[in-house]
Chain A
Amino acid sequence: KQEVTQIPAALSVPEGENLVLNCSFTDSAIYNLQWFRQDPGKGLTSLLLIQSSQREQTSGRLNASLDKSSGRSTLYIAASQPGDSATYLCAAGLAAGNKLTFGGGTRVLVKP
């Protein structure tokens, strides 16, 4: 059974600092690893999706890496801004029905 863990559960940084969010999963037989952002009272917004054959994906200030053998993914956010304050969730995608198993999330606060 796939289990996904995110550490830390919460993170507070001053504006401009780089953010590093960690995600680990127990079963390396994944199809993809997805990172989402959730704002209070809102749904999830897809940030990056790394296919199992890839090592990383980049979008603007965001970069996500994937190491299947060690069961880890890391989301880097460069030069953080107050608007980056949100909860970040990672999810491991399995083949059957594109089922996603989510971690508990990392709540990020970027102080101006």
Chain B
Amino acid sequence: DTAVSQTPKYLVTQMGNDKSIKCEQNLGHDTMYWYKQDSKKFLKIMFSYNNKELIINETVPNRFSPKSPDKAHLNLHINSLELGDSAVYFCASSPYRASYSNQPQHFGDGTRLSIL
């Protein structure tokens, strides 16, 4: 039973298109995240939502818009795709507590986005 699942696993599309990546977690967690891993394998956080509320929004172009219909889902929509958007996008989730110091994040397998 997959804990954090992302779809699609691979996404190949042309520059200028709009695409969405979906993420779902069945762990009962309150907090979900989107990370970007570039070609040099550096992982950077993009967004974090707690119970459908945005709590982290790093310096990300506004072409990227996260949407959380409920606390088990966090989707990522990307408008006007550019070559530099090619990367692996990871979704993650964790419980939300006043002191989350002992709660690791659980990651999905990633979505490999390639822009032609």
B66 at the interface (CB under 8 A from A): no
- Are A98's CB and B41's CB within 8 A? no
* Secondary structure of the A contact surface, majority rule: strand
- Are A31's CB and B107's CB within 8 A? no
- Are A44's CB and B90's CB within 8 A? yes
- Are A89's CB and B102's CB within 8 A? no
- Are A32's CB and B109's CB within 8 A? no
B39 at the interface (CB under 8 A from A): no
B62 at the interface (CB under 8 A from A): no
Mark contacts of B22-65 with chain A using CB atoms, 8 A cut-off: 1 yes-contact digit, 0 otherwise: 00000000010000000011111100101000011000000000
A42 to B105, CA, bound (A): 15
Segment at the interface with B among A12-20, A21-29, A70-78, A99-107: A99-107
The 4 closest A-B pairs by CB, nearest first: A46-B104, A43-B107, A102-B43, A44-B107
